[in-house]
A and B are shown apart, each in its own frame.
Chain A
């Protein structure tokens, strides 16, 4: 059920962090057709959303389009956000990720041609970026997520990365790695269980 603005406003804030409270305020503003609230939420999350879309589709134009579509959907129907189902930021990233994965699956033949080269380039870029950012410090959220990923066994982390960041399905990962489909599934579940325990169930 989609809750109304009044429902959200009356919810106690102590259970959620201040950033999330701010995000929900911005969603309330968007429901009131406040363009500044929209710009506020866009400014907070479009950079990460663009990075995510870019990582999955690997073309800047498509990534930009995907992010614009997601934020357009938010502006047109802010009631689609249901605060009982999670944070604003995860909901936004979910919208962007779903669109990116859909785009990749549509362009599968094109992607397969470019995959090997692009994957190698992406790995190098990612490693380099990690070093640079560690030196200048990261917001708490990024540190937590990266630390949680680093704590995973390599086999689980590799499956999660290929599924989420490369946009591959469970069957595609099984085919690409030679792992039995059941192994891909069990590694995904084990990895996600650990991440859930750290990122969601033990929130500060």
Chain B
């Protein structure tokens, strides 16, 4: 008896182009499983995947620096170096900076005010154990705002000393598989400041890291694994930090 491959063929064709969604992924898996060891299924899968791959060649090739191949080999051979020097994200930051310049300065005043209030209470806890030291520290603290469309965010820190407090509101839940990642931009190199999930749209997080050499901060949406280098474009970028 000849099996009907109509559903499998349609779903394989769509999957090969990356277009499958909803219940059709599980449906395809179920259909394939029901066919067991199916040579026709394998042929269809192979040929549609091959066809989809060929479509890329309709595009004009981009200019590529062969130095990238060397860099890949270097990163593969020395993964620790990769973590220490993640790739720059200057291009995307420039885009946000340009957008900020067009829109004018967008200071999240309510959040900055909240930062100031909380700092008045928590400076001693965060930056020193002595009350008088804390009060002195608060006068040197800096508050910077972030620009972007993800929510309002501000950061307080004391130049020359480690640690920064970030407060934000209006953040969408990134879902179970993703988190908001905080980056310290040192030149064009992002260094991870950790990852955070908002609670009821709010973010309150203390980044326990040395900000020395950090020019700006940025936030991206990343997989829940919290990678050591950004994989997506920044959704928020801070004003320049004071050294």
Find residues 151-193 in chain A having any chain B CB closer than 8 Å to their own CB.
Answer: 160, 163-165, 167-173, 185-186, 188-189, 192-193
Complex alpha-carbon distance, A87 and B53, angstroms: 9
Q: Does B51 contact A (CB under 8 A)?
A: yes
B134 to chain A, nearest CB (A): 40
Interface size on B, residues (CB 8 A): 56
A-B pairs with beta carbons under 8 Å apart, 24 shown: A42-B69, A47-B61, A48-B57, A51-B62, A61-B233, A65-B231, A67-B68, A85-B46, A86-B46, A91-B53, A93-B54, A93-B55, A97-B53, A103-B232, A110-B233, A142-B60, A145-B58, A149-B55, A170-B14, A170-B20, A171-B22, A192-B16, A193-B13, A196-B50
- Bitwise, A10-49 to B at CB < 8 A (1) or not (0) is 0000000000000000000000000100110011001111
B residues sitting closer than 8 Å to A (CB atoms) are 9-10, 13-14, 16-22, 24, 45-64, 66, 68-73, 75-76, 87-92, 149, 172, 178, 221, 223, 231-233, 235
- Number of A-B contacts defined by CB within 8 Å: 201
In the complex, the answer to whether B20 meets A97 with C-beta atoms within 8 Å is no
Excluding A75-B72, A89-B57, 18 further A-B contacts by CB distance (< 8 Å) are: A46-B64, A47-B61, A47-B62, A48-B59, A61-B89, A61-B91, A67-B68, A68-B71, A68-B72, A71-B72, A89-B54, A94-B16, A94-B49, A94-B53, A98-B18, A168-B19, A192-B17, A192-B51
Cα A31 to Cα B160 in complex, Å, equals 49
Question: How many angstroms from the CA of A186 to the CA of B21 in the assembled complex?
Answer: 15
